Amino acid sequence: MLLSFSVKIFGQQFSQYNTGSLYDSFENPSQKAFITDSSRQFSSNFLVPNFNANFFITGNAQATLKGRAFNNSYNNSALLINQGKYNHVNTNLNAYLVMFKMFSSLNGDVELGFAAQTKMEGKGVFTDESIALLNGAGSFPANGYSDIFNNNFYFQSYHQISFTYKEKINKQFSFGAKLSALLGIQYEELKVNHSQVAFNKPDDSAIIGLNGVYYTSYIPGHLTPRDYLPSFRNPGAAISLGGTFRTEDSFFIQGNIKDLGFIHWSSRSHAGAFNDISTVKGLSTRGREDSVYNGVSRIIHGNAVQTSFTTPIDGRAELSVHKKFWLDDDKNFRYLPTLIASKELFYPGFTGALVNPFQYKKYTLTLTTTYDDLKLFNLGAQFMMQTPNFEFFIGSDKVAQTGSLLSAQLNKSSTQAYTNSAFTGADIFLGFSLKFGPVIEHPMNASTIPTGEKGFLGRLWGRLFKTNE
């Protein structure tokens, strides 16, 4: 497979940091979701999906792929042959289908939660030549090349069932944990170490040779709807830990280890090294894409054996700092800048973000800027309406790129010319939750909810450090 997986959706969402939303509290486990004397005791999304979906592509292949997607045609003029040029792809989806959280102890400031979500994640690199071949042999002046199809990618999807615990241990420190069971849906990984191609242009064919390794969690063929249902065939587990510390000058420092976990793919899976050749015919015909796909598929599946294997999920370590500023005496206008550093645990990805929420009463407009290790700059925006018992948000962390792709889709025509930019991508996120039940009250006027005792961690802290906080 030169580029055998479809670009689905990728991204890391920062605009919800420190909003105190239900979504924020599940993503950052030390974050609170309730406000004493204002919020009601229970919070849920009532089966309205809260999701973040995003993808991006970099490199010379952007214009070619946009032309193929919107005009059903290829323009290979920007692709460079035999010059070692690569394109990066990142994809991800994070969709919470069920979210429920309760405030269980006022004295200990304890929150308990349950969530069910579905995630997809993947990334890869592919060469200019891999895309050029899908349009035939016309872009290849020579008859033979080596190592021009050395691509690699991985993609996995899974369900995640989680329980969360958050406790304010003392006036300065809060701790949270998220324990998750993972139910794998699909895994696919390809790494081509060496490649060769010999074109026979009079015969409209090519012989392709590939050497590498391939993993897949399912029997070759299309997935059926039944394959997406939760099952214990591919089990896994993950943990997220978070802590928030308030300094004496009211800076909040938050650290998170997110989704440190693994999935064990069942013995129905296939894996194997490949080192073979395949003849691809009809490179100038309408069926050339299928011919290339089928030829490459024969190679990578040729020596695959049925076996199980274990893979990590895309965990992250994050550190952030924020401070609250009131911009008027009546405390109607608030500014809460947050600086975030995010590092992938098992991959080289690193992102820095500056989140700028401007709040007027129950309305918040957030501007987010990010910069990553691929030297990509993003500008995002979010609108949020939030009260102590209701919240709705919508936005994009890639505003310009999302708008550009939407415009291309709405205004596509056979004469449209597409160009390359720093990257092509799109992003959208949306969420909703509602609180219900009795109002959480302070001990002096608590008439409906027992105040409870300190949480387990608070009691342990008190015994260790001899404090009654």
Quick one: pLDDT at residue 4?
A: 41
Please check whether residue 11 lies inside any domain of the structure.
no
Query: Between residues 5 and 19, which one has the greater pLDDT?
Result: 19
Low-confidence winner among 35-49, 64-78, 171-185, 451-465 (lowest mean pLDDT): 451-465
Residue 311 belongs to a domain: yes
| 304: confidence class by pLDDT, cuts 50, 70, 90 | confident
135 in a structural domain: yes
pLDDT of 465 above 70: no
Confidence of residue 462 (pLDDT cuts 50, 70, 90): low
CATH classification at residue 68:
2.40.160
pLDDT at 451 over 60: no
Under 8 Å between Cβ of 302 and 271: no
CB 322 within 8 A of CB 28: no
- Quote the pLDDT of residue 73: 82
Q: In the chain, what percentage of residues exceed pLDDT 70?
A: 89
228 against 222, higher pLDDT: 228
The answer to whether 418 and 407 are in contact (CB under 8 A) is no
Domain residues for the domain of 39 are 22-465
CB contact set of 330 (below 8 Å; sequence gap of 6+):
none
Checking if the pLDDT of 348 tops 90, the result is: no
Residue 254 clears pLDDT 90, i.e. is over it: yes
Residue 467 confidence class, pLDDT cut points 50, 70, 90: low
**Assigned token pair, 91:** 């994809």
How far, in Å, CA of 108 to CA of 362, rounded?
A: 28
Residue at 2 is within a domain: no
Lowest mean pLDDT among 139-143, 219-223, 289-293, 393-397: 219-223
pLDDT in tens, 124-177: 999 999 999 998 888 999 999 999 999 999 999 999 999 999 999 888 999 999
Closest CA to 89 of 66, 65, 122: 122
Give the total number of structural domains in the chain.
1
| Angle formed at CA 311 by CA 307 and CA 314, multiple of 5 degrees | 155
pLDDT in tens, 330-347: 888 999 999 999 999 998
Q: Is 70 left (phi over 0), alpha (psi -120 to 50) or beta?
A: alpha
For residue 377, the cross-strand partners are 371
| Confidence band, pLDDT 50/70/90 cuts, at residue 273 | very high
Q: Which of 84-98, 123-137, 446-460 has the lowest mean pLDDT?
A: 446-460
For 139-156, letters b (16+ CB in 10 Å) and e give: bbeeeebebbbbbbbbbb
The Cα 141–Cα 127 span in angstroms is: 17
> In the prediction, which pLDDT does 15 show?
92
pLDDT tens digits, 8-17: 333 457 999 9
- The average confidence (pLDDT) of the chain is 88
Over 60: is that where the pLDDT of 48 sits? yes
Contact call for residues 231 and 183 (beta carbons, < 8 A): yes
Tokens of 214: 């391939």
When pLDDT is averaged across residues 76-82 and rounded to a whole number, the result is: 89
- What are the CA-CA distances from residue 18 to residues 21, 26, 122, 235 (Å)? 8, 12, 27, 32
- What pLDDT score was predicted for residue 70? 84
Domain annotation covers residue 373: yes
pLDDT at 469 over 90: no
Predicted pLDDT of residue 237: 98
Q: Would residue 6 count as lying in a domain? A: no
pLDDT > 90? residue 441 = no
pLDDT for position 95 = 96
pLDDT at 78 over 50: yes
pTM of the complete model: 0.88
Compute the average pLDDT of residues 362-391.
Answer: 94
Spatial separation of the C-alpha atoms in residues 93 and 162, rounded to whole Å: 17
Nearest to 116 by CA among 88, 137, 95: 95
Q: How confident is the model at residue 464 (pLDDT cuts 50, 70, 90)?
A: low
To the nearest 10 degrees (0 to 180), the angle between helices 399-410 and 61-71 is 40
Tokens (6 digits) for 11: 């991204």
What is the reported pLDDT for 309? 95
Residue 150 confidence (pLDDT)? 95
Asked if pLDDT for residue 193 goes beyond 90, the answer is: yes
Q: Is residue 405 included in any domain, yes or no?
A: yes
Query: For position 6, what pLDDT does the model report?
Result: 39
Q: What percent of the chain has pLDDT above 90? A: 67
